[in-house]
Every structure is written in structure tokens, then in C-alpha cells.
Amino acid sequence: MKNWYKILSVIFILYTLVWGLLNPVPRLDILNETIRNVYYHVPIWFAMLFMMTVSLIQSILALTKNNLDNDTKAFNAAIVGFFFSLPGLTTGSIWAKYTWGTWWTFQDPKLNGVAISILIYLAYFILRYSVDDELKRARISAVYNVFAFVMMNVFIMVLPRLTDSLHPGNGGNPAFSQYDMDNNMRMVFYPAVLGWIFFSCWLYNIKNRISFIKNKLND
């Protein structure tokens, strides 16, 4: 049963896609039915953060062990994490349009932090392709990846909590779990988080297998 997490990812995601639209939700001003987006937008970001954490760990292992396999795994995890940032950004933008009246606002530090974080990781990918020597690329990329992870957390986790922010849970605003995440929503939200994280692991495993096959062919 080594593929158990793949099965669970399909079950949980299908469950949240269907029941997330059917189960009752709190009737709140402004949010109304858009609160259902918490089942999709937030879990996707959880998956992104999980993959970036995996990438960080693999980069640290690449530095300590001087192992190219860990460097490849760090790169693959960052690719998968970056992939999840795109639907995370899209669902957030749609949510903002229906609750804040705009697709994007530069008045929200978390949105700006997300944009900066994406650019930081884009620079990581560009950096990797600008160095030909494998060992040198692995060490430089690993160091930069540690920096990228720290800066991402500063921009999307720390600064929004220190300044005014429109996001729930930031800038003095209560998080969903504090004022409107009832038991009905939790029955969908937690499986959604697990489902998208398991799905990210599935994609990560595929990327690693593709990299392994390419290395074998090159050798």
C-alpha cells in the first residue's frame, strides 16, 4: 500500500470539491457564499508551503552531504510548490474580487508579499540555469533556497501580522477559525488540507522519478 496517499488525495479532493459546495456555511456579511473558497484557496497554499519546506530540507541536506540527489529533490519540490502558488494566487484573486471589490490591491501587505515571494523563487530557478558546474550549482542554489524560504515566510507570515491587512488572521483581523469556522466547515476544510498536501507529494514523487530517469539516460 505504498500508494495510499495517492488514493487518499483523490478521495479527499473529490470529497471537498463536492461537499464543499453542498454543506451549509455561516451566513456572514460580505463573504456570503464566497466563504466556501476557504476549502480550496487555503489548502492549496498549505500544499505550497509544505513543498517549499520539503525543498528547504533537501537544500540543507545538499549542503551538509554535498549530494546532487538532494539538490535535484530540492529543485523538484520548489517546482511543485511554485506550481501550487499559481492556483493559490488565482483563487485568492477571485475571492478578493467578490469580497474586496478588486482583483488585486496593493494596500494589502500579504498580497504584495506573495508577489515578491513568487519573484524570489523565480530568481531561484533562473539562478540554477545560469550555472553549468553541477556541484557549484548545487551549493549556490541550496544557499539561495534557504534565503528564499526565510524571505517568503517573512513576507507572507510575519509582516502581514505586524501591519494593517485585509486578510483574516493578519493585521489584527480574526482568523476564520476564531469567529466563523464551525464544525460543518471543519469537516471539509481539514480533509481538503490533507488532500492537497497528499496531491503535492504525488506530483513531487513524479518529478523525482522523471529526474531519475533523465539522469540514467544521460549517464
**Structure confidence by residue, pLDDT tens digits, 37-61:** 888 999 999 999 999 999 999 999 9
pLDDT at residue 170 greater than cutoff 90: no
Stretch among 83-92, 125-134, 152-161, 201-210 having the lowest mean pLDDT: 152-161
- Residue 85 and residue 89: Cα distance in Å, rounded? 6
| pTM: predicted TM-score of the whole model, two decimal places | 0.88
What residue ranges do the domains of the chain occupy?
4-218
Radius of gyration of the chain (CA): 19
> Any residues with CB less than 8 A from the CB of 147 and at least 6 apart, and which?
none
Q: Is the pLDDT of residue 210 over 70?
A: yes
C-alpha pair distances (Å), 214 with each of 33, 73, 211, 218: 46, 13, 5, 6
For residue range 113-166, what is the model confidence (pLDDT) as tens digits? 888 999 999 999 999 989 888 889 999 999 999 999 999 999 888 877 777 666
Rounded-to-integer distance, Cα 157 and Cα 28, Å: 25
What's the average model confidence in pLDDT over 69-78?
95
